[in-house]
């Protein structure tokens, strides 16, 4: 069975949506562990409550290189095939990305290439766009720049607030991530998406 790990830094609602999909058999895969760069991420607590093993990467005490080495070692020792980012707020080094090329997936809360970076929802909101959304993509050495696997549009209606927009974006994320991973794990990266640009 396909095995993956999840990296997060925050509350972990996407991790929970993926864990639900695994539990219900919608996503035929196994979450080997959930890792974070910070020990106090709510998502780690939520993972532990679900009986998923958690790992704190030593970013604050030992830095990026040691943390990435630890993660690489864990993945290879346990045969983890995919690294799934779900609100992980660190930028992976190009060495790490190259070592796991085509095996790292990220979810971003905007229609990339619009609004990359830390606040994709707020940036779209402040810009005043009528449509934003969610992107799932492979990670390359840039920021939110890798080949796109799936996107969902979310309309910003006149009655929306930043809070209701955030809710709509997260609902779209939770519906799309497991489906995209399910297809990716079964069939690999769709060739037309990987090579179009
Ligand atoms: C999500 O909006 C995701 O797209 C972005 O970070 C947020 C994480 O939320 N990369 P959560 O921790 O999964 O609730």
pLDDT digits (tens, 9 = 90+) for 167-197: 999 999 999 999 999 999 999 876 656 556 5
- Return the pLDDT at 194: 57
Mutate to test the pocket of ligand 1, among 87, 92, 120, 149 (most ligand atoms within 8 A of CB): 87
- Return the pLDDT at 36: 98
Please say if 108 is a catalytic residue.
yes
Which is catalytic among the residues 108, 137, 170, 174?
108
State pLDDT tens for residues 39-48: 999 999 999 9
Q: Which pair of tokens denotes residue 167? A: 């809710």
The sign of the dihedral angle between the CA atoms of 32, 21, 47, 93 is positive
> Over pLDDT 90: what percentage of the chain?
95
User: Domains, the chain, ranges and CATH?
Assistant: 2-188 (3.40.50.170)
Q: Tokens 């998502």 label which residue?
A: 43
Give the mean model confidence (pLDDT) for residues 124-144. Answer: 96
């Amino acid at each position: 069975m396909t095995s993956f790990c999840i990296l997060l830094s925050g509350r972990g609602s996407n991790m929970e949506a993926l864990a639900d999909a695994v539990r219900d058999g919608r996503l035929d895969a196994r979450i080997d562990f959930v890792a974070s760069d910070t020990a106090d991420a709510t998502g780690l607590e939520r993972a532990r409550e679900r009986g998923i093993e958690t790992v704190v990467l030593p970013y604050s005490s030992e830095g990026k290189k040691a943390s990435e080495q630890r993660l690489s070692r864990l993945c290879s020792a346990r045969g983890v095939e995919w690294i799934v980012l779900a609100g992980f707020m660190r930028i992976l080094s190009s060495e790490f990305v190259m070592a796991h090329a085509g095996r790292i997936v990220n979810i971003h809360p905007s229609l990339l290439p619009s609004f990359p970076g830390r606040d994709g929802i707020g940036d779209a909101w402040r810009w005043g766009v009528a449509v934003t959304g969610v992107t799932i993509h492979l990670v390359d050495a840039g920021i939110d720049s890798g080949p796109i696997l799936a996107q969902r549009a979310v309309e910003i209606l006149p009655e929306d607030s930043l809070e209701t927009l955030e809710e709509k974006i997260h609902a779209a994320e939770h519906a799309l991530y497991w489906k995209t991973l399910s297809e990716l794990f079964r069939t690999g990266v769709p060739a037309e998406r990987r090579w179009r640009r």
